[in-house]
Structure 1
Amino acid sequence: MVVDLLVNVAFNNLFYRKRNENMEKNSSTIRIYPEWKCVDDEQESNRRLHYSRFALSPLLVDQAMTIGVAMRRALLSEVEGICITSAKIVGTIHEYSTLEGVRESIDEILMNLRQIVLKGEATQQESASLFAQGPGVVTAGHINLPSSIRVVDPDQYIATLSKDTQLCIELVISQGKGNQINDYINNEEGFFRIDARFTPVQKANFSIYSLGEGRQQLLLLEIWTNRTLTPEEALYQAHNSLLNLFYTITPPIPSKNVSKNNKPACIEKNTVYNDINTSDQSGHVLNASVDTILSIDRPMEDVMNTKNISIDQLELSPRIYNCLKRANIDTLSDLASYTQEDLLKIKNFGKKSVEQVVTVLQERFGLKLSTKK
């Protein structure tokens, strides 16, 4: 029920809103530009988790799967972050040893250090240090960091000192992508490499829903980050990473079937990729890079599945809506069969009502009602 409601909301907002701005007509094609829209944004009670859900629509069948798989993989492996990559703990010999007065073993302390969430930039390896005097609890807030780096959650747990014990650790912070497993053989006493988890994206899922009669689809992408950046920023970085990748591997222009302007006749390189921009206070719209082309030979009603689109989606005033309903006009297909002259014959349906219907149809769907039969 919740998913159906979300799909309907996303469908209304993305597919119909300002449709005349998202469609370009020329002599051979109708070009539809899908849009990203943030439909849900929750900063969880957990101070190290930020969740957002994004919708991309309209897409042709199978495009949603292609984009969903690519974006999910890019989110989990291509977004940069920083983390602790090594630690030197004073007074230790190996990772299975213990320190007197420290509740945790060295291995447990290293695991806790690995989970520390840091925000900032480390253009090269940065040094940090931790010094704590017991008794008491040692947290991420005790780490002395460079000015360009800060801890997301200062209360993040590291260890407990049960006696008047000192805990001294020298740390190295690095920047990178994805995850890196430590295969380094430790030859220095008290020095430990830490498996690096650079990616700020904790989890990414996607799901696909059909719109209308199934000729078009909606992609829902869920992103969880550790708050070092927002899901929107992670989506933008992953998107740019894919663009840069495909730009570097652009294949050569085929020697056959080349048009006069020295480009393949079947390829049009006129898609423009823009930065993030905010549409309104209700959500953020990110210009998408997907270019969906439909043949202009297909009727406009067929392309938009007007038989299944209720006049509820027109968001007309209650009076006009009730007048249309009483006239048994339930869908856009029903409305398209009327002329402006026919609408004036409906009871309590005046000239201003007709003008509003004509404006909405033109702005949202590019449809025109003829003046007379």
Structure 2
Amino acid sequence: MTRKKIRISIRTRRWKCINSEEDNKGSQYGRFILAPLKEGQADTIGTAMRRALIGEIETTCITSVKFQNVIHEYSTITGVRESVYDIVSNLQKIRLRTNLSGTYEGSICVRGPGDVTAQDIILPPYIEIVDNTQHIASLTEPISLCIGLQIESQRGFDIKIPYSTRERSYSTTVGVRSIQNVNYNVHSYRNGNKRQEILFLEIWTNGSVTPKEALQEASRKLIDLFIPFLRKEEANLEEEANLEEEANLEEEANLEEEDNLEEEDNLEEEANLEEEDNLEEEDKLTLKNFYINYFFYQWGWDKLRKNKINLSSQSMKLIFIDQFGFSTKLYNGLKKANIHTLFDLVNKSQEDIMKIEHLSQDEFEQLFFGMELYFN
């Protein structure tokens, strides 16, 4: 094994890419150095960068696949060489690149015979496929294959096996992460009387992001995490005081609004009580008039019932109450009381009529005058 000589600055701390490779499948490898560092700093930076690369860099992948007319994921499709399970496995290997976060929709709609590859996937313009030659399925017959895709961008530590609740949708495991592996090692050397270190950082990616891009993105993530510690404590206290003052003002406004609402409720309650008293008085007058009219119609209803001798029972059974043009309320009330014909009606006393639910004075007058008009 040959060792490469690496020239580094002994005064200014710098980083450099000393090796970069890419295989025929699109995966990439990068090796970086950071030097000079004081004793112990290489481990501190290396541990932080490794965790940031693995846990903070997002991976864009297909998380759910939806087929048409497929019972379960172990089914086979007529005219397709692969099973549904194999197609889902191939789709989860598709490597995607995007600068946005969130959930997106994609689709495949092709007609055989022929091979289906990643280039047949229809995606939003802001999502790019790393390897368009990735095999998905082979169609052996002239059939149409339509597949719906759900695509998500997930943070490294958040990546998990999703569960799809959509009908005929099948979740995929995350087969390809953006960051496949990260490793670091430390080389110590003596510079005069001081002991210094060099940090070697190795990054393997799936090709959706380059090692250099991943390193810079992870650095930005770490900086964002540490920024709050750079703020002065006085500024934090001042901000907390402002927030507390805003909360107090908001609470006072809420209390004032509650007082106004309570006062409005009291006024409304007083108005309702006054209205109820007026309605109660009106009900008493109405009830009084009703009883007066009740005794007034008592003789008239009995007279109408005596006139039924002019018609035979058989004739009255053929005359239905809907022929009198009664209102819907009166008609429904009579039907509920099992009064369907004129014979049923004239065989009811006024006391029976008064027992019908929801029969008001207006309905009784309508019934009386309607019957009087009919017999006279």
Query: What does residue 38 of structure 1 align with?
Result: 17
Cα 1:239–1:195 shift into 2, 3 Å: same
* Distance in 2 of aligned mates of 1:146 and 1:224: 27
Question: Per-residue displacement from partner, 1:60-100 (whole Å, max 9, x unpaired)?
Answer: 22221221121111111111232212111112122222212
Compute the TM-score of the two structures, normalised by the length of structure 1. Answer: 0.57
Shift of 1:130: 0.3
Compute the TM-score of the two structures, normalised by the length of structure 2. Answer: 0.56
Query: What does residue 273 of structure 2 align with?
Result: none
Cα 1:245–1:197 shift into 2, 3 Å: farther
Query: Is the aligned partner of 1:180 residue 2:174?
Result: no
Aligned partner letter, 2:216: Y
What's the C-alpha RMSD, in Å, of the aligned pairs? 2.5
Aligned partner letter, 1:81: T
* Distance in 2 of aligned mates of 1:248 and 1:112: 43
Question: How is 1:272-291 mapped onto 2 (pairs within 5 angstroms)?
Answer: none
Question: How is 1:296-311 mapped onto 2 (pairs within 5 angstroms)?
Answer: none
SS of residue in 2 equivalent to 1:227: coil
SS of residue in 2 equivalent to 1:15: coil
Query: What does residue 230 of structure 1 align with?
Result: 210
Shift of 1:234: 0.5
Query: What does residue 30 of structure 2 align with?
Result: 52
Query: What does residue 298 of structure 1 align with?
Result: none
Aligned partner letter, 1:176: Q
Shift of 1:239: 0.9
For the Cα contact (< 8 Å) 1:131–1:169, is it kept in 2? yes
Query: What does residue 188 of structure 2 align with?
Result: 210
* Distance in 2 of aligned mates of 1:72 and 1:59: 17
For the Cα contact (< 8 Å) 1:80–1:175, is it kept in 2? yes
Cα 1:35–1:90 shift into 2, 3 Å: same
Aligned partner letter, 1:180: I
SS of residue in 1 equivalent to 2:209: coil
* Distance in 2 of aligned mates of 1:252 and 1:199: 38
Between structure 1 and structure 2, the one with the greater Rg is 2
Question: Per-residue displacement from partner, 1:215-246 (whole Å, max 9, x unpaired)?
Answer: 21111111122222221110011111112112
Query: What does residue 314 of structure 1 align with?
Result: none
SS of residue in 1 equivalent to 2:9: helix
Question: Per-residue displacement from partner, 1:245-284 (whole Å, max 9, x unpaired)?
Answer: 1224669869xxxxxxxxxxxxxxxxxxxxxxxxxxxxxx
* Distance in 2 of aligned mates of 1:109 and 1:181: 20
Question: Per-residue displacement from partner, 1:14-37 (whole Å, max 9, x unpaired)?
Answer: 224xx4xx3xxxxxxxxxxx2211
* Distance in 1 of aligned mates of 2:228 and 2:85: 42
Aligned residues: 231
For the Cα contact (< 8 Å) 2:63–2:162, is it kept in 1? no
Aligned partner letter, 1:76: I
Structure number with greater CO (CA < 8 Å, separation at least 6) is: 1
Match of 1:98 among 76, 99, 102: 76
Which consecutive unaligned segments of at least 5 residues does structure 1 have? 23-33, 255-373
Question: How is 1:190-339 mapped onto 2 (pairs within 5 angstroms)?
Answer: 190-196=168-174, 199-212=177-190, 215-248=195-228
Shift of 1:124: 3.6
Q: Which runs of 4+ in 1 moved over 4 A?
A: 249-254
Shift of 1:54: 0.3
Cα 1:187–1:226 shift into 2, 3 Å: closer
Which consecutive unaligned segments of at least 5 residues does structure 2 have? 235-376
Percent sequence identity is 40
Shift of 1:183: 4.9
* Distance in 2 of aligned mates of 1:168 and 1:80: 28
